[in-house]
Amino acid sequence: MPYIDGFIAAVANDKRDAFEEHCRTTWPVFQELGAIAQWECWGEDLPEGEVTSFPMAVKAKEDETVVFSWVVWPDKAVRDKAWGQMMTDPSIGEAMGEMPYDGKRMIYGGFQPIFGQGDINAMS
């Protein structure tokens, strides 16, 4: 069963091009490590909440936009092996380049799908 890594981060609006380039740079690395898909989404309709919201979750500033991203792995074992490599092999970090956002405010985690319908490839 596929395994999903999800990410939410705040990116400065003037760094959108750098973020998109970073996405294009990270995909070959993730793919080489076994990922089967990567999606990066620039926030457009992100209402402010009173208790919680996407912008609040990452402490987005006025000049930042929230991005929502996910990487699909064939299974958790492949994902765990890839993350182990990413955490221990400095050449992988070098290949991915500098993050154009504050990683300390990024939220991420691994998810086991429990329901899926439709063809995600239809989104491209």
Residue 22, in any domain of the structure: yes
Residue 88, in any domain of the structure: yes
Residue numbers of the domain that contains 74: 3-111
The total of other beta-carbon atoms located within 10 Å of residue 90's CB is 7
> What does the pLDDT look like over 30-64, one tens digit per residue?
999 999 999 999 999 999 889 999 999 999 999 99
Residue 117, in any domain of the structure: no
β-pairing, 3-12 with 107-111?
A: antiparallel
| Tokens 């992100």 found at | 46
Residue 118, in any domain of the structure: no
Q: What pLDDT score does 40 carry?
A: 96
Residue 16, in any domain of the structure: yes
Residue 120, in any domain of the structure: no
Distance in angstroms (rounded) separating the CA atoms of residues 16 and 14:
6
* Structural domain count, the chain: 1
Where residue 13 sits, what CATH number does that domain have? 3.30.70.100
Q: What is the pLDDT along the chain (124 residues), one digit of tens a residue?
A: 899 999 999 999 999 999 999 999 999 999 999 999 999 999 999 998 899 999 999 999 999 999 999 999 999 999 999 999 999 998 888 888 888 999 999 999 999 999 988 876 666 5
Residue 72, in any domain of the structure: yes
Residue 121, in any domain of the structure: no
